[in-house]
Amino acid sequence: MSKKILLHTFLTLTVSILMLSSCDKREQNINFAPGINENVSEIAVKNGLTIFANALKVAKMDTAFDYLGQYTVLAPTDAAFTAAGITNANLNSIPEATLRTVLRNHILPGRTTSFSFLPGPNAVYGNINRDFVYTSTYLSTTPGVGAFAGTYFNGRKIVNVDFLANNGVIHTLDGVLFPAVGNLSATLALNPNLSYLRAAIATAGLTLRLDTSITVNTLLAPDNAAFIAAGFPTIASINAASPVTLSSILRLHVIPAASVPAAFGNGRLFSPDFRTRDYVSLNGNVTTTITGATAAFRGPSSTADATITTPNLLFRSLIANGAPSVYHIINRVLLP
């Protein structure tokens, strides 16, 4: 996904002004180590998190950290923000409420140091956005797993831990935790590079099913180039295709929670959660192979691997109590 598309998605978030409070009281400890004088905003600047610190100022959130409570801050690095199309130069062009919503998605109530991270996978933390983020910690050195060793939130890896402030602790992330912006149809509509997929879902008659699923799903989402390479040169060709054929293909790309081993928690598979094994989709097995840090996927009739180009994006079901599902953009269409 290009920086422009990521930023476009970022700017079109559904925003509501939320209170800086939460019912999650995990490690709500107002004490802090003596001798630490800087607050969260100041510690962010001190450790090179300039975009995060400036974003707090633009969103008028920096003064809150002068006196309020204790927080755990998952701060994207400058490189992570830049990769998402967010820079110091364009912060002032982002609506203040939108920026505040995204920043709150990275802030958890209470001080949680790295020694206290829940192991997961998919262990739930409430944030001050009145939403949730999901953590997984992997320590294995097993081949195919060791490359993913580390702690992740929504599939984004913790880079550095435990920058202590007088009112919280900062851990840095290698990605931005964008909140889910809507159901699958609304989410795909924000990305023109997924217009073929959206058309295929509609032609196959799966729009309502995927928008209103009662379970958490993991979706492998082929981009437009993947559909073109699979023999669908235009959206018109997708609209003219057999709904039965398209349904068979698309259902292969949906891995429901029920088919995910219990060890993977509540079923959504962020990129570090994949393992070398077969996952049972809505239409047969998806063979997954992990090589180093790369996950490759094949359907029963696929002749080449599909790999993830943009991982760990969220959408919500209209029915499943707002619990987010995850999708990964891939570069090939899986064939049943």
Cα–Cα distance, 33 to 162 (Å, whole number): 12
β pairing state of 156-165 and 150-153 = antiparallel
Q: Which of 223-237, 270-284, 287-301 has the highest mean pLDDT?
A: 223-237
H or E stretch covering 184: helix 184-189
In whole angstroms, how far apart are CA 29 and each of 167, 177, 223, 226, 328? Answer: 10, 25, 46, 50, 37
Superfamily of chain region 184-330: FAS1 domain (2.30.180.10)
CB 204 within 8 A of CB 247: yes
Superfamily of chain region 3-118+158-173: FAS1 domain (2.30.180.10)
pLDDT band at 231 (very low <50, low <70, confident <90, very high): very high
- Give the DSSP letter string of 54-70: HHHHHTT-GGGGGTS--
pLDDT in tens, 115-153: 898 887 888 999 999 999 999 887 765 544 445 678 999
> Which long-range contacts link 35-38 to residues 24+ away (Cβ below 8 Å)?
36/164, 36/165, 36/166, 37/166, 38/165, 38/166
Name which of 116, 105, 113, 97 is nearest 75 in CA terms. Answer: 105
In whole angstroms, how far apart are CA 116 and each of 19, 218, 270, 310? Answer: 26, 28, 21, 29
Instruction: Give yes or no for residue 43 having a pLDDT over 80.
Output: yes
CA 296 remoteness from chain centre: 19
Q: Which of 216-220, 275-279, 326-330 has the highest mean pLDDT?
A: 326-330
Locate CATH 2.30.180.10 in the chain.
Answer: 3-118+158-173, 184-330
pLDDT in tens, 144-194: 444 567 899 999 999 999 999 988 999 999 999 999 988 999 999 999 999
Instruction: Please measure the distance between the N-terminal and C-terminal CA atoms of the chain and give it in whole angstroms.
Output: 26
Name which of 136, 114, 121, 107 is nearest 18 in CA terms. Answer: 107
What pTM, to 2 d.p., does this model score?
0.86
Residue type for position 155:
G
Average pLDDT over the chain reads: 86
Residue length of the chain = 336
Cα–Cα distance, 229 to 248 (Å, whole number): 18
Sheet holding 132-138, edge to edge: 107-109, 71-76, 168-173, 156-165, 150-153, 132-138, 123-126
Report the interhelical angle of 96-104 vs 3-11 (nearest 10°): 100
pLDDT in tens, 56-100: 999 999 887 766 678 999 999 999 999 999 999 999 999 999 999
